[in-house]
Structure 1
Amino acid sequence: MHVRIHGGIGLAELTLSARDLAQVRFAVSPMWQVLSSFRLLRRDDADAAVHGPWLAQVRPRLAAAGLDRGWLAELIPAAGFWPYFLNPAPDGPAPALSAELAAIRSTPAERVRRDLEHLRYHEGSLGPRLRALHADPAARLARVTQEIQVYFDQALAPYWARIRAVLDTDVLHRARQVAEHGAGHAFNDLHASLRWDGDALHLLRRTRPMPRDGSGPGLVLAPTAFGGPRLASRVAPPDPPQLAYPARGAGTLWERGERTDTGALAGVLGRSRARLLADLDTPASTTQLAARTGLSTPAVSQCLAAMRAAGLVSAHRVGRSVLYARTDAGESLLSAGHG
């Protein structure tokens, strides 16, 4: 590893051996989406504006549940460092959130304390919850992961099929680049601040060290839907380094599709079910769907129950309400009906 400073701009170098290159991999990590999306909720800038429809729906839910002033609010500042232990090294190309939460709960106490001390250095102090976490990580990590699960259920799960589609599409695009042009081309196309010179990755505007000694082999590349245009990194030996980059298409995540004609799909599902499936561009309750479509609430409930049994929609409890969202299967069927 080498760190150079040019004209006041940090330039970090991460040298990759042949072994490292052989173990470069992509991973769709739920925790990267949790952390970057929670940070986004705390901002009011151009990055947040891109996700306006999502923010408008999610912010009131989180405030009602107290999640805007809990563990995550203390762990994730509006900008800068957040504790590395919240991003465990993914154990595969698409780890389940449960697996990542289990890895967080098993973080060694010294790792937790080291990260919290680093956070205190940047923020000036730790809140009461984080002081308790510093004193007894083993007892408090379970509380942290419980809140993360609640946050995911309320803020991301109803939209997960759409988010996951964007992330998977990005990974497929990158994999095709590697197959057609090689890893160097894929690196150079990943982010404006990332450059590959044949021996090392150069990260502009990063002054923190990226030590290869002591780190695991390879490099994990994680697309994010909520990180904005920034490149984020995690370098926490003995894990392999991680780079989180903005996924292609994230800026169009909340655009509504032009799907006014459901005639072909109605021939298969029935007019009411096809209309409801098309209307679920954003998750909604039975009451909201009844108001938007003009169908009665009992009729909406009956249609949703049938489509849920068929795997076309999913249900997510948020407080006292249940929100329905299209699944991957529902998205595919709707797209085919408009092909």
Structure 2
Amino acid sequence: MTVSGGVTGTGNLILQNDSAIVDGITLSTASVNNAGTITNNGTGAETLISAGIGSNVTAVTENSGTSALNITGPITVNAAGTMLTNANASGSSLLTVSGGVTGAGNLILDNNSAIADGITLSTTSVNNTGIVTNSGTGTGATLISAGIGTNVTGITENSTTSALNSSGAITVNAGGTTLTNASGSSLLTVSGGTTGAGNLIIDNNSATANGITFATGSINTVTNSGTGAGAETIGVVIGSSVTGVTENSATSALTVSGAITVAAGGTTLTNNNASGTALLTVSGGTTGAGNLILDNNSAIADGITLSTAAVNNTGTVTNSGTGTGETLISGGIGANVTAVTENSTTSALTISGPITVNAA
């Protein structure tokens, strides 16, 4: 059965492919735009929506153990939000969206099943003007392998059981993009890196260590400001487009174990804590051509600590924090560094690692 003239009206649309025919129900060409929901619950083979899904649709649910739902057309989110759900109690059928997401509104992802990647957004980018929230009650993860575009201002992991994996590149919004882990032990994993002209805010509000995990790829300007007790580790390279890394959480420490490539105009490491004991620790070393500025604006001893790998950017290192807490470099200073300057009236600079003198 092929429907190419579109769907309108007020009410819910139920798709029931009880046959063994792949794409036995196909909705193509004109958009599906009923004011209501779409549910796939056939007992047979896959159902296909190659037409777009309009902004009147508030929810799309995969509810079949055998009939997968494949959406290759774009989804335009509803102004009040659009929810994608995999409600399977059994089976292995996926809800796959490969046509991208646009529109002004929030996207909610609820994988309530035990199916790995039970909701998969692939190929075309997720780029709704709003936030993306994962809040499923199942144990199956949700996967966004498509890129996440500049219109998205926040990505939130809000499930205690269903992890959210973002393996496509995140292009940061000009006004900033916030990554949040709001609860539970399920991780928000970013493995596709981040690009774009804007600041990346990391809010691990959970008690889970590395509740937001960066697996591979470079990232851009970063602020850690979570309210939870879980520490954060950035284990990937921080690229030369980054101008600052800021620790701004009283409870969630930030460790950068990947190398920092200093920006040509300089990269500033800051601990801005007015209270608390959370450290900014850099153990992956520094490279790149530019100056490194260290601003421990807190009262935390060794509030900025550079350990393990050497600080070896081609340029200078300046300590200029306004706090009373000292800054510590225990990882050594390499031969590319031409000068080290203490320029704070309150924050001491301690170098306990070896200094390799520049040839010039």
The answer to whether the superposition gives a TM-score over 0.5 is no
Q: Larger Cα Rg: Structure 1 or Structure 2?
A: 2
Q: Report the TM-score range of the alignment, normalised by the length of the smaller protein.
A: under 0.3
Which has the larger share of helix?
1
Q: TM-score, normalised by structure 2?
A: 0.18
- Superposition TM-score, scaled by structure 1 size: 0.18
**Larger RCO: Structure 1 or Structure 2 (Cα < 8 Å, ≥ 6 residues apart)?**
1
